[in-house]
Amino acid sequence: MSSILNQSLDHFLTTLASKDPAPSGGSVAGLAASMAAGLVSMVCNVSIGKASEAHIEPLEKLLARSEALRKQASSMIDQDIAAFNQLMDAYRLPRHDDDDKKIRLNVIQNALIVATKVPFECAKCCIEILNCCEEAIDYSDIGILSDVGVGAAQAYSAIASCALTVAINVPHLKDLELAKFIEQETNTLKNVSTAQYNSIYNTVVSRLSS
């Protein structure tokens, strides 16, 4: 299957709006996360040309981090689509007899684990993107500081989306220990991100108003 990243944005949105099961919420989370990191990279690229000598190296390091995170988040769009399709294929397996049912159940559980881990990993990536947004505030050119806030908003939205995707999957996991771990860790990430996003938003608004 070709990467959805090689298709046009219009094609992605049209497919998203269609009755096709994927892309869906998890893929949108990956897109939001990659756009968040992309905005940090843009802020760094613009600010480097206007920064004092003391700020150039920190901006270059921040740019390297945001670009790595952008690529990581972008890959999760395809990962989520693949995981969801794999899960749908598992549900379609035959169940004519007990052997079929046992095989089908195992395949479904393995697919569910993957479909749950992808948004969990995306949420962790988003926390790193929020960290980049927080750092970018001190180095951003004032003319594009609002873009740092928009990036943070996108990252926060992505984390909330990941938490919802995890929430719909964990009740179906038979591995209760894994389900509890992923659910608790994701909720922690969501709670941490709420406080962090609010801090970033308030700081950006305050500096824009001063």
Q: What is the pLDDT of residues 123-181, one digit of tens each?
A: 999 999 999 999 999 999 899 999 999 999 999 999 999 999 999 999 999 999 999 99
In-domain check, residue 201: yes
d(CA 11, CA 14): 5
Asked whether residue 2 carries a pLDDT value surpassing 80, the answer given is no
Residue 68 — pLDDT band, cuts 50, 70, 90? Answer: very high
Residue 4 — pLDDT band, cuts 50, 70, 90? Answer: confident
Q: In 10 A of CB 151, how many CB atoms?
A: 27
Output the six-digit token pair for 49. Answer: 């040309």
In-domain check, residue 91: yes
Q: What is the mean pLDDT of the chain?
A: 95
Asked whether residue 1 carries a pLDDT value surpassing 60, the answer given is no
Residue 16 — pLDDT band, cuts 50, 70, 90? Answer: very high
Q: List, in order, residues 6 or more apart from 75 with CB less than 8 Å away.
A: 30
In-domain check, residue 5: no
Residue 87 sits in a domain whose CATH number is 1.20.120.680
Asked whether residue 7 carries a pLDDT value surpassing 80, the answer given is yes
Average pLDDT on 65-81 reads: 96
Q: What is the number of structural domains in the chain?
A: 1
Average pLDDT on 12-20 reads: 92
d(CA 35, CA 44): 14
What was the pLDDT predicted at 21?
86
Q: What share of the chain is helix, strand, coil (3-state, %, to 5)?
A: 85, 0, 15
In-domain check, residue 104: yes
What was the pLDDT predicted at 54?
86
Cα 136 to chain center, whole Å?
19
Asked whether residue 3 carries a pLDDT value surpassing 90, the answer given is no
Average pLDDT on 80-96 reads: 94
What was the pLDDT predicted at 50?
86
Residues 41-64, buried b or exposed e (16+ Cβ, 10 A)?
bbbbebbbeebeeebeebbeebbe
Domain of residue 203 covers 22-209
In-domain check, residue 174: yes
In-domain check, residue 29: yes
What was the pLDDT predicted at 192?
96
In-domain check, residue 8: no
In-domain check, residue 12: no
Asked whether residue 185 carries a pLDDT value surpassing 70, the answer given is yes
More confident residue, 6 or 73: 73
